[in-house]
Chain A
Amino acid sequence: MKKRFAIALVVCILMAGCTDTKSRSTGVYMLLDTSGTYAVELKKAQLILNYLLGVLAPGDTLAVARIDTGSFSEKDIIAKVTFDNRPSVANNQKRAFMQQLESFVTTVKGSPYTDISGGILQAIEYLNEAESGKKYILIFSDLKEELAKGYKRDIPFQLPDYNVIALNVTKLRGDNMDPKEYLARVEDWRSKVENGGGEWGMINDMERLENIFAN
């Protein structure tokens, strides 16, 4: 009897040892550009977030933060959640998250500067703490960084195992006159991400959001 119990115990321990709750989860950190020229695009961001809420599964992590003058701050996180393991509870969390975002979009005020790098640094910090298996940073912005005087962001990113995806990168007036500016801007961010060890991607067509998790 004792022998059987011991075998059962060993099996249980082995099964518990095999259990992995974190490494397969997905962590998504979305940065929303709220600078004056881009704030009008936030309705589209809401669509993207609804898509993400539909796709993410129990155990996954989702956070949304704004990009403003100084984005390297927890205060800029608008909403964050790690979905419960039970689907029914996770569904309720998604509903609550959706409402939080809705109220943000309706009350958001434009910021004079755009600190994208600070936002990315904050995202790295948050997702590292969340210990997600797959990490995604989504940047909903025109990628035009404008730092306020005194802000320094010349820190190289540490992005191994990260997928950084720029969404809805709109063309500015100057880009239309000289597309090189747009291409240079995108290329600059791509090289920053890839130099940090991350994967770079860009999705401008909102009908192809499934490509976010294609990798």
Chain B
Amino acid sequence: MTFANMLNITSSPALSILIWIVLFLLALYFARRPFHQAIMSFSKIIRNALRLTAAAVLSAEQRLVLRNREVLMAAGLENAERKVEREFDRIAAAVTRDLDGYPNVHRQLSEVIIKLDEDYTTSADVPPSLPNWMPIIESIAKIEHSGDSMVANMLAEINRSLTEQNKKAIDDYRNSTAARHGILNKMMPFWRKVQKSLERISGSIDNIKKRAKTVDRTINEYEKIHAGSDEAARALSTSALTQFAIAGLVLLIAIGGALINFNLIALPMSEMVGGASYIGPFKTSDVAGLVIILVELTMGLFLMESLRITRLFPIIGAMDDKMRHRMIIVTFTLLAILAGVESALAFMRDRIAHDMEVLRQTLAGAEQMGLPPSIIPTVGQMVLGFILPFALAFVAIPLEMFVASARTVLGAGAAWLLRLMAFLLRLLGNIGFYLGRFIVNVYDLAIFPAIWLEGIIMATRGKNVDLPAAGDPEESQPVEEAVDSYEETIQIKEQQE
């Protein structure tokens, strides 16, 4: 039936249109309830499916967060253990250094004390006390004599003898005192020696006390982490993020260094392995240069592991000290040899580059420059070629930091993405639900004359008008339905579990 035929069901096209409209509205009115139910069911299916998916995603996010926390705590514990271990190592070193020599110090102190004791005993000898000659001499000198020369002579002789004895006694006393002072003077260095030994021991004990305090502090941190406190988790998380950023930056710098290194050796490698052969799509000389740099990096990693600076390979750290020392020597020697090789390659590179430049000038017909080639760039390249392998060896430290912190940071990033995904799923679910409601309302709007008539008819019969889509409790509470909260999703998730 064409549109023209449709307009010709009556003699008046307007009337025909009106009839068609009425018929159409009637059809829509009778199909209203099934249509409402179909649309609402469909929108609920969308909403519930997306909410269930969101709940599953949130569940995964929770598991990931828990795992991240476990990883973070494990890393924190390992770090604290490492700190404590280091402090104990230092204490052991201090004890070995200072207290290993304690028997010797003790012996020295005993010897010095014995010497001091002897000196003290010697200095304790009291000098002969001065006889009280003076009053006797004076009283003899004052004795009057009757002019008898014999008496006078005798008295004079007694006076002289006494005076001499007095002088001798004073001299003896002074000599004895000087000897005692001499002994005491000799004691001074021994006292100082004793004092220094005691000060040294005191310093060592202070140092050990400081270390013990650090150990205490680290143990406290360890206990907090072990208890799994939120404070420790926050601190560790922030620390991991900072470490990730710093290690990433240092690794970028290291990559720059490796690129320079590569450019130094790629050209001369073509002199050794040929410049026309390929491994896959890459030049063999380039691959060889890259392999040398990677070997250097590996040697650097092993060296740092052997020195117990990093712990990427636990098997190396667990080796006994003798084997570890051998490994240090071997890796360092190989690194030094590779550095030497690189230096030689850098020299060769300079020669080849110069030769190529000369050839290029000859081909271009340019005259050779009068200035002789300077050796400064050559030496600079050689030094750079020698230093870079050693510098690259230290990449192990930021690499370890990067790997350790990347687990935390990537885990946190993944958890954030999962949360975002859950939010978007819930949002889409709600949009789907309200789109269904919107379609239902638009439908009702289109057939409002029929609904209006229904209202009038129902009012004349004294019945209530079923204005909204009747009998659907969900539709009577649109605001409550709109709330699709996080808690609700969690409840769904718990029901699932």
Contact = CB atoms under 8 A, between A and B. Distances in A.
A15 B271 CA distance: 19
Contacts of A69: none
Interface of A: 15, 18-21, 24-25, 50-51, 53-54, 57-60, 85-88, 90-91, 94-95, 98
Contacts of B280: 18
Interface string B348-372: 0001100110011011110000000
Given A87-B267, A87-B352, A87-B356, A19 B278 contact: yes
Contacts of A21: 274, 276-278
Given A58-B270, A85-B270, A87-B267, 4 more contacts: A54-B360, A87-B352, A88-B351, A95-B362
B284 interface: yes
Interface string B260-281: 0000000100110011111110
B363 A98 contact: yes
Main secondary structure of the interface of B (DSSP, over half): helix
Given A19-B278, A20-B277, A25-B276, A86 B270 contact: yes
Interface string B156-192: 0000000000000000000000000000000000000
Contacts of B359: 53-54, 91, 94-95
A58 B275 contact: yes
Interface centre among A57, A60, A91 (most CB of B within 10 A): A91
Nearest to B270: A87
A24 B351 CA distance: 26
B270 A19 contact: no
Contacts of A90: 275
Given A19-B284, A58-B270, A87 B275 contact: yes
B360 A58 contact: no
Main secondary structure of the interface of A (DSSP, over half): helix
Nearest to A58: B275
29 contacts: A18-B278, A18-B279, A19-B278, A19-B279, A21-B274, A21-B278, A50-B363, A53-B363, A54-B360, A54-B364, A58-B274, A58-B275, A59-B275, A59-B276, A85-B274, A86-B270, A86-B271, A86-B275, A87-B267, A87-B271, A87-B352, A88-B271, A88-B351, A88-B355, A91-B355, A91-B356, A91-B359, A95-B362, A98-B363
Interface residues of B, number: 21
B269 to A, nearest CB: 10
A57 B355 contact: no
A57 B275 contact: yes
A24 B355 contact: no
B42 to A, nearest CB: 58
B277 A85 contact: yes
Interface string B316-332: 00000000000000000
Contacts of A57: 275-276
Given A19-B284, A91-B359, A50 B365 contact: yes
Contact of A88 (B277, B279, B352, B362): B352
Interface of B: 267, 270-271, 274-280, 284, 351-352, 355-356, 359-360, 362-365
Contacts of A94: 359, 363
Nearest to A18: B279
A127 B362 CA distance: 28
Contact of A24 (B267, B278, B360, B364): B278
A86 B271 CA distance: 5
Contacts of B277: 19-21, 59, 85
A21 B270 CA distance: 13
Contacts of B351: 88
Nearest to B287: A15
Contacts of B276: 21, 24-25, 57-60, 85
A50 B278 CA distance: 27
A21 B275 CA distance: 9
Contacts of B363: 50-51, 53-54, 94, 98
Nearest to A89: B271
Contacts of A91: 355-356, 359
A18 B278 CA distance: 7
A33 B264 CA distance: 44
A18 to B, nearest CB: 5
B413 to A, nearest CB: 37
B364 A50 contact: yes
Nearest to A22: B276
Nearest to A83: B276
A203 B258 CA distance: 42
A94 B267 CA distance: 18
Contacts of A60: 276
A94 B355 CA distance: 12
B172 to A, nearest CB: 94
Interface centre among B267, B356, B359 (most CB of A within 10 A): B359
Interface centre among A15, A50, A87 (most CB of B within 10 A): A87
The 6 A-B pairs of least Cβ separation, nearest first, read A59-B276, A85-B274, A58-B275, A50-B363, A20-B278, A21-B277
Contacts of A50: 363-365
Interface centre among A50, A54, A59, A85 (most CB of B within 10 A): A85
Contacts of A98: 362-363
B58 to A, nearest CB: 47
Contacts of A59: 274-277
B114 to A, nearest CB: 66
Contacts of B365: 50
Contacts of B352: 87-88
B275 A85 contact: yes
A62 to B, nearest CB: 13
